[in-house]
Amino acid sequence: MTAPVPDPDHIPTLIGRSSSHFTRVTRIFAAELEVAYAFEVVPDLRSMNAADFAGNPALRLPILRTGATTWLGTLNICRELARRAPVRRHVVWPEHLTDALTANAQELVVQAMATEVSLIMSQLAGTPRDDAHLTKQQQSLLNMLTWLDDNVQAVRAGLPQDRALSYLEVCMFCLVTHLEFRSLLATSGYRALTAFCDEYGQRASARATTYRFDTP
């Protein structure tokens, strides 16, 4: 079956950054689910103006604009993309993870993504390296990565075999590859996570969304 031709008047607009791991999650979902979209770049993450974030009062990206409606937050956006998808694919969402191992993995992956954002924003703000809160966040990130590295194989084995896509794996892939991209820490020592990223990175959706800094 040929893919439907997108109507430029009705395709949603994703507002984000090509260097953002949360944005990449939504782009991978769009690619996997064959949803066409326009892309608008937020020029400066540090902006204090909600208008720069498509009206998001949290001053965060990504945001999805569908006509007069805006969807805030990565999970909401992925769900809306799935509702718009011209193809039906088996997606595993966080609420499907009903055992502690996979549910905890989901929690830690999203927390690690948020902690990474916090570390990057602290860097941009020039927070001193010995700041106590910063030091705790760095330790927390290392702990979470160690836990994920120890458990990634069992976690993946616990996901439905017939899945096309899981929010957990897409987030985990975007998290680990982003740590390298932002030179926040070297990830090669996390052997199981690296093996997972090498495998997941073969997907066309991953290859089409590699991180880069948008030019102003």
Ligand X SMILES: N[C@@H](CCC(=O)N[C@@H](CS)C(=O)NCC(=O)O)C(=O)O
Enumerate binding residues for ligand X (CB under 6 A). 20-22, 45, 59-62, 73-74, 117, 121
> Residue 78 or 206: which CB sits closer to ligand X?
78
Pairing verdict, β 63-66 and 69-72: antiparallel
Longest dimension (CA), the chain: 58
Please, which residue, 104 or 111, has the CB nearer to ligand X?
111
**10: helix, strand or coil:** coil
* Minimum distance, C-beta of residue 1 to ligand X, in the bound complex (Å): 32
Nearer to ligand X, 27 or 60 (CB): 60
The total of other beta-carbon atoms located within 10 Å of residue 153's CB is: 12
Q: What order do you get walking across the sheet with 69-72 strand by strand?
A: 38-41, 13-16, 63-66, 69-72
* Shortest reach from residue 115's CB to ligand X, in Å: 10
> How near is the Cβ of 162 to ligand X at its closest, in Å?
27
* Least distance (Å) between residue 121 CB and ligand X: 5
Rg (CA), the chain: 17
Closer to ligand X at the Cβ: 147 or 211? 211
Closer to ligand X by CB, 137 or 199: give it. Answer: 137
Separation of alpha carbons 125 and 137, rounded Å: 16
Nearer to ligand X, 6 or 73 (CB): 73
Least separation in angstroms between residue 22's CB and ligand X is: 4
Tokens of 6: 């997108």
Q: How far is the CB of 110 from ligand X (least distance, A)?
A: 7
Burial-class residue 196 by CB neighbours within 10 Å (0-12, 13-18, 19+).
buried
Residues whose CB is less than 8 angstroms from the CB of residue 56 and which lie 6 or more positions away in sequence, other chains included: 50, 63, 70, 72
